[in-house]
A and B are shown apart, each in its own frame.
Chain A
Amino acid sequence: MMHQAQPGDAIVGPASLSASVVSKEFGAVVALNQVSLELRPGEIHGLIGPNGSGKTTLLNLLSGYYQPTSGAIQLRGEELAQASVRRRAQLGVARTFQKPRLLGTLSVLDNVVLGAWTHVEPGFLATALGLPQIARADRDLLDQATELLHGVGLSHAIERRANLLEHAEQRFLEIARGLAMRPGFILLDEPAGGLSNDEIDHLGGIIRTISDAGIGVLLVEHHTDFVFRVCDRVTTLDVGRMIRHGRPQDVRNDPEVIRVYLGA
């Protein structure tokens, strides 16, 4: 069923990260068909849908790993589709990955502080010559990263080698690294995957804290209960089309959504 214009559909806000009527085709496969999504600063926006619905594709479009076949990706009103992944990092779009991507041989702290790269943009020569401003920046960033690690609950693992982390710790590390990027928006790719119920509660708390700070959070997830619990708005996809978006209670009770999840 095609997406119908619904009450509460505002024009995309000026400070939002948005996909507007985007389609993505891989050869003959249409992964996304005219989907729109708006992520506002400070909101927690859930993105759900069965396997193959196009959630990850949409996430990759927003973060810069794919270019849309048609439609627009915008950040604060500016066209983003041509911007590289690196450029988006500079513009404050952070993401985590479905399978955590860490630098195993470095410490947890080093992994997190790497997130602050765009805010130093260190030059090779300046670093090699040991200029004091580089060293000072490094120290400050390490302090900030340490605070982030305490915040997400990894105080006990700060100096540990990253490849010795357990699964939940890896996920929280990625979130801390994303926060070190000073993002305006953070896109979480199935962060609850493999977490226990306690850990999911902790994740919810962290996400709320992030959004309270004014950072827009996109939560791509399979744990639909979790999504309905924490999110301000939810978008549902199915086979590349958007079938419903709005407040959690509205989406959860929508007959089309129920049909998609429980089968027809």
Chain B
Amino acid sequence: MNTKTRLLWIVPGAVAALSLPLWSNDQYQVHLAALICCYWVLIAGLNLVVGYTGQLSIGHVGLLSIGAYTFAILGGKWGWPAFASVAVAGALCGLCGLLLGLPSLRLPGFYFAMATMAFALIVGEFVLAQGGLTGGGVGLPVPGFPPPFDTPEGFYYLAVIAAVVASVLTWNVARQMYGRGLIAIRDNPVTAQAVGVPVFRAKLTTFVFSGVTAGIGGALFGSLQSYITPDTFHFELSLFFFVCIIIGGRGSILGPFLGVAVLTALPELVAPLAKLGNFFYGLLLLLVVLVVPEGIGRVFELIAQRLRPRSAVSVPVAPDLPRLARAIASIQALK
């Protein structure tokens, strides 16, 4: 999708999103939109890990949980200011990302996925076991934010701001050299090495970043829920994040965003789907993997290609040697 087409999608969407509380009377819709934004903060970071670097992490619900509980404990139990608590939640989850990533990112795909799944389960165990800190099975109330973010509409705007920041940061990485390096790591690590990309360092950096966004997203998510228990962070939520990215399409920022928006809203709008819950997500993931592994965004691209007239003529390669010489010389001149 080129920039013009993207803007056609984004601008009206952004306008609608920003004005939502004004034209929607339904508190629930505002709540849902805020939820999408909280999820997106996490997913935007996870997208760089899964969609760009190709590391199949299925344990990010653990980081969401740590973020939410940290925020609840610091801001709620210990009375810290809300924004400071969010910052600490983000930093702590970044640290967890570092500790989890250091040993696991060197492991091959399945081992890594299992390691992240184990991490999520371990976080769950820890939360349940440390009842004194986390309230155990009973859970914790989660504080809100100071005015003007203390109303549902106000919180929604806070969530939107966070979502926009996450989008801009990840979009910057995706479209520039760093993003190309990540895609190289995903699709052809030998090539990545051959051109000098620091493979492990890049994997770890994006993973730590995804930890930070998960922590911040978790804090916001917890605040939105206003009360959290260990059951709030069931493992299937990790799967949900993952599926949003794969379905939306790897190597895209807009795709996963549309993915999370649609997949969050869908069970609310189509009641039978809500009952099927995670079966539906599993089915969707399977269909995408079998039919359009590059995500649904690719389907639109393919359709657009079919509609556009294609030149069937194969053009022979015809080097322009003087131009090549000049190009090499100008590159060498900058050495």
Residues of A whose CB lies within 8 Å of any CB of B are: 63, 84-86, 89-90, 94-95, 97, 101-106, 110, 113-120, 122-124, 127-130, 134-135, 137-138, 141, 144, 147-148, 150-157, 166, 168-169, 172, 177, 179-182, 198-199, 202, 205-206, 208-210, 212-215
Contacts and interface: CB of A to CB of B under 8 A. Distances in A.
Given A102-B188, A151-B324, A124 B173 contact: yes
A138 B327 contact: no
B325 A110 contact: no
B317 A152 contact: yes
Contacts of B332: 182, 213-214
B183 to A, nearest CB: 6
B329 interface: yes
Nearest to B315: A156
Contacts of A120: 177
Contact of B317 (A123, A172, A214): A172
A124 B198 contact: no
Contacts of A113: 177, 180
Interface residues of B, number: 50
Contact of A122 (B176, B184, B209): B176
B330 A130 contact: no
Given A151-B320, A152-B324, A198-B316, A181 B205 contact: no
Greatest chain B CB density within 10 A among A152, A157, A180, A215 is at A152
29 contacts: A85-B194, A86-B193, A86-B198, A97-B190, A101-B188, A102-B191, A103-B184, A104-B187, A105-B294, A110-B180, A117-B180, A118-B195, A123-B178, A124-B202, A124-B205, A128-B172, A148-B324, A150-B323, A151-B328, A152-B324, A166-B314, A168-B317, A177-B195, A179-B328, A182-B335, A206-B319, A206-B321, A209-B324, A212-B325
A31 to B, nearest CB: 20
A147 B195 contact: no
Given A181-B196, A205-B321, 10 more contacts: A86-B196, A90-B196, A94-B194, A103-B180, A113-B177, A144-B330, A148-B324, A152-B317, A156-B315, A182-B331
B206 interface: yes
B326 to A, nearest CB: 7
B116 interface: no
Interface in B211-268: 251
A110 B187 CA distance: 14
Chain A, interface SS category:
helix
Interface of B: 168-170, 172-173, 176-181, 183-184, 187-188, 190-191, 193-199, 202, 205-206, 209, 251, 294, 314-321, 323-332, 334-335
A210 B328 CA distance: 8
Contact of A209 (B206, B315, B321, B334): B321
B170 A128 contact: yes
A218 B12 CA distance: 55
